[in-house]
Structure 1
Amino acid sequence: MYRKEEQLLPPPEKFELPFEGKLSPNNRWVIMAELIPWDDFEEEYAKLFSAEKGAPAKLFRMALGTLIIKEKLGTSDRETIEQIRENPYLQYFIGLNCYQQEPPLESSMLVHFRKRIDGELINKINKKIVKREIDKSDKEVKKKDCLQ
């Protein structure tokens, strides 16, 4: 069963931490989170689940984000979950609203994430990111040309 819950994520500087701190908008995980078009692929990911069977699925951002963390850090599934549990930037990256002490998911979920998020979907995401960045760059060039 898949059920998307509407949630508005706070900007990094408003992400709640138990020690009164704020996330830096210049952190690599915050920057990368802003590059990835999470919502553009949520619906496609949701189609992989049955509305009648099984427990509610994790959101696409949590699934893909966890796999990205694992690959970038070169960690095992268990170590990836431990890193997420310990790091508020990683928790923000996977879409949590505030820091939590408990792991947000079991390491065994990564097996399911890998089955559902295949190379074809990763390629679509990469193409969308590149297109968006090119479009943004083109707009900046045009704006610069207009100012001269």
Structure 2
Amino acid sequence: MREGVVSDVRKSVVVPATREHCFQVFTERMADWWPPSHVLLTEPRVGLAMEPKAGGRYYEWDAAGNEKTWGTVLEWEPPHRIRLTWRVDGRFQSLPDDEAASEIEVLFTPLEPAGTRVELAHVRLDKHGEDAERIFQALNGPSPGETLQRFADAV
């Protein structure tokens, strides 16, 4: 890595399902695969949702109705691609808006005879400033990683 430049973190998993089904599970059944340790709320989370449109948000809520927004849907291209902001700081706490948020890109690529490669990339990590390297190190483990493995299990 060059000084001041933080590489993207890219992971992928191949699942035996259509990309349409993969896109649906990724965007409509987040609670089935999102790691339970990935929580921004102070109380236990009871739900996760994604608004299915560019400009929508993806967020979690607790039993009392408190919400935390994980980010904004930047691009919504079913069943091919989705691009999101990721409102998490270097201490893995919630950011109030997208100004310092990095991004997540997810591609759904059909494979023959009947499968899909799901590629998830954390990009623009440099937006985290002095915490960018810490976030890179935390995310840059073996592929597919916990999140995509849980996703594959849910599909």
Normalising to structure 1: TM-score of the pair? 0.27
CA radius of gyration, larger in: 1
**Higher helix content, 1 or 2:** 1
* Higher RCO structure, 1 or 2 (CA under 8 Å, sep 6+): 2
Normalising to structure 2: TM-score of the pair? 0.26
